Amino acid sequence: MTAVSDMNTPRQTLNVGFRPDGLATRLRRRYFRTPANALISLLGMAALLYLAYHALDWAVLKAVWSSPDGTSAVCRDIAGACWAVIQQRWRIIIFGLFPYDEQWRSMLACVVMVVTIVLSCLPWFWKPLRLSILWCAGFIIFYVLMRGGLFGMRAVMPADWGGLTLTVFLYAAGVLIGMPMAIAMALLRRSEMPLVSRMTGALIDGVRSLPLVTILFTAALIFPFVLPDWLQGDKIWRVIIGFALFFAAYQAEIIRSGIQSIPVGQEEAAKALGLSYWQRTGRIMLPQAFRNALPPTINQLVITFKETSLIVIIGFFDILASGNAAYGTGEWSFAYFEVYIFVALVYFVFVFSLSRYGAYLERRMRFGQH
Amino acid sequence: MSEAAIRITGMNKYYGRFQVLRDINLDVGSGERIVICGPSGSGKSTLIRCINRLEEHQQGRIDVLGTELNDDIGNIDHIRRDVGMVFQHFNLFPHLTVLENCTLAPTLARKIPAEEAEATAMTYLERVRIPEQASKFPGQLSGGQQQRVAIARALCMKPKILLFDEPTSALDPEMIKEVLDVMVELASDGMTMLCVTHEMGFARQVADRVIFMDKGEIVEQGRPAELFDNPKNERTRTFLSQVLSH
């Protein structure tokens, strides 16, 4: 093994003899090549600066950042943004209806969940055992913190969970339950037994034909009538299962497309080596399928994060619904724009991080491809 | 040549209604080196792919290393571990390094400890003269190098039989020799080999027996010297004149 460590890395000699241009040269070439070109560039820049100034003026220069007396009076006669609404009401946005005195628990639980998500993005955790331990620990800590009733913590029912904490929990639980479901559905749909593959196909197509709202509605309100008591569980779990199922139906097709783009020779080579079905699937097919399907998978994960906001229709206060509640008290009702910008910013932080992580994964995996 | 490593009797294979293999009878002795040649579409590849059951036959019987190939799946994986295969398009696993390509099946299917599997893999990578590439990915290697890795990967399972399915057909001319050299060396080790190839020089040099196939049948077989210099069948003669004329 030591003999191989001093190998030269490939593609390293590519840029010999080529010196990239300086910034000034590149700017001149791209934006000021001809007089007309220069004119358009200047006009464009002027327009951008004008807009940027107005946005800055509203959002920063003329903005009010806090309300010392706790009322909306400070924002009465201003031309800028009233960020005081965030300063006053951020707890509702982030924690929803969670009891005020216990909100440190919700905060901690949210941090635990985010840390769990971030840790499982690190390659070191990509071992089945490590991932399972991480997620079990993450969910148990989250659940104990939120649900309470232990260690002298007051019990808080899931119906009172809300805000960012609820959004992150719903997302993490939905994806974590949905991903194995998706893998199972993708594999079953490729089964050689016609009955199995057709039934899975019907399930996937069936779920995909329904709006998410319908599925959540069914899970929350109709299943209690249909299922025996011991199978019902709490509403939040029924909703998470419904959410996971919806995610899984789409993700299953993404994984299947990833499997189908693997050359036939890969499975043949694995068979010829005497690997069993599960060894072939786990070590040859799925790793390659996920690489092939990485861009649409990230896409689906991004969409799913934003779809969590739909649980408001069955009475859960996710971050967007909590935002509505935060300005909806009458006193702050004029400041809805600021609240929405704040909520949008939170979404942006999560989704943009996810996109960047996807780009990192693509770079990382490119090496091991043809 | 002791007992038969492979025994095929009265085997027929169809794709739907189309018959690809007709009444194949073939005994391969342990340690025997066989080259199968014939025009494209003659069923050569299909024949050797039936031996590790990448293709299923419909009639007749195939025995490999004393076990009949049938629908018993556990049976099949067991036999495949003893029957290595090298493909025309290499089929290395692109997401694994060269070394991992070589250690995956021994550790998973044979339950060999990782360290031992790595040591074995390095031995075979040295034999195919490519140990310095062990930590690269297949996509970073040339075709000839990839095919040599594929041979090492097959050898790491310590198979009793090696099947070659046109191993040099997808290679650039200057890389054919490096792969053939490795195969010649293997042949001199007493490995049971079945090789589908158009490399007549290789066949002459190492084969105990050359089999000529056409239209799904074994048309003629014999020692390379006999078959090449004195073919009895008209179809063999036509084929050889086409292959050897350039």
| Closest alpha carbon to A32 in A41, A21, A19 | A41
Higher local confidence (pLDDT), A126 or B95: B95
Q: What does the pLDDT look like over B203-226, one tens digit per residue?
A: 998 999 999 999 999 999 999 989
- Do the beta carbons of residue A350 and residue A117 sit within 8 Å? no
Measure in Å the smallest separation between the Cα of A281 and chain B Cα atoms: 13
For residue A153, give Cα distances in angstroms to A110, A139, A144, B245. Answer: 17, 17, 9, 90
> CB A271 to CB B95 under 8 A?
no
Compare all CA atoms of chain A with the CA of B89 and give the residue at the minimum distance: A265
Whether A206 is in a domain gets the answer: yes
Whether A111 is in a domain gets the answer: no
Residues in chain A: 370
pLDDT band at B72 (very low <50, low <70, confident <90, very high): confident
CA B112 to chain CA centroid, nearest Å: 24
Range of the domain at A338: 93-98+156-369
What is the model's pLDDT at position A8?
A: 44
Pick among A9, A11, A273 to test the B interface (most B CBs inside 10 A): A273
Sequence-distant (≥ 6) Cβ neighbours of residue B107 within 8 angstroms = B113, B114, B117
What is the model's pLDDT at position A16?
A: 55
What is the model's pLDDT at position B244?
A: 72
Give contacts of A7 with chain B, Cβ < 8 Å.
132-133, 135-136
What is the model's pLDDT at position B137?
A: 92
> CB B92 to CB A5 under 8 A?
no
Edge-to-edge strand list for the sheet holding B59-64: B18-29, B4-15, B59-64, B67-68
Whether A323 is in a domain gets the answer: yes
Compare all CA atoms of chain B with the CA of A290 and give the residue at the minimum distance: B95
| Closest alpha carbon to B144 in B123, B165, B173, B164 | B173
Compare all CA atoms of chain B with the CA of A275 and give the residue at the minimum distance: B109
A126 touches chain B (CB under 8 A): no
For residue B246, pLDDT beyond 60 = no
The reported pTM is 0.84
What is the model's pLDDT at position A9?
A: 46
Number of domains in chain A: 1
pLDDT band at B174 (very low <50, low <70, confident <90, very high): confident
Give contacts of B95 with chain A, Cβ < 8 Å.
287-288, 291, 365, 368-369
Whether A43 is in a domain gets the answer: no
Q: What percent of chain B has pLDDT over 70?
A: 98
Q: Decide the pairing of beta strands B67-68 and B33-37.
A: unpaired
> CB A274 to CB B157 under 8 A?
yes
Whether A244 is in a domain gets the answer: yes
Whether A137 is in a domain gets the answer: no
d(CA A343, CA A325): 12
Class of residue B204 by CB neighbours under 10 A (exposed 0-12, middle 13-18, buried 19+):
middle
How much is the average pLDDT of B60-71?
A: 89
Give contacts of A1 with chain B, Cβ < 8 Å.
118, 122, 134
> CB B132 to CB A10 under 8 A?
no
CATH number of domain containing A248: 1.10.3720.10
Whether A62 is in a domain gets the answer: no
Class of residue A129 by CB neighbours under 10 A (exposed 0-12, middle 13-18, buried 19+):
exposed
> CB A275 to CB B54 under 8 A?
no
d(CA A287, CA A256): 12
Whether A355 is in a domain gets the answer: yes
Flag whether the ipTM exceeds 0.90. yes
Pick among B48, B76, B77, B146 to test the A interface (most A CBs inside 10 A): B77
Q: What does the pLDDT profile of chain A (370 residues) look like in tens digits? A: 344 444 444 444 455 566 677 888 888 888 888 888 889 989 999 999 999 998 898 888 777 787 777 777 777 777 777 787 777 777 788 887 777 777 788 888 888 888 988 888 888 888 888 888 888 888 888 888 877 777 877 777 777 787 888 888 999 999 999 999 999 999 999 888 889 999 999 999 999 999 988 888 888 888 777 777 777 777 888 888 889 999 999 999 999 999 999 999 999 999 999 999 999 999 999 999 998 998 999 999 999 998 888 888 887 888 887 777 777 777 777 778 878 888 889 899 989 998 999 888 888 887 655 4
User: What is chain B's mean pLDDT, rounded?
Assistant: 90
What is the model's pLDDT at position A10?
A: 46
For residue B1, pLDDT beyond 70 = no
Question: What DSSP state is assigned to residue A155?
Answer: P
Q: How many CB atoms lie within 10 A of CB A209?
A: 9
Sequence-distant (≥ 6) Cβ neighbours of residue B46 within 8 angstroms = B13, B20, B21, B55
What is the model's pLDDT at position A51?
A: 95
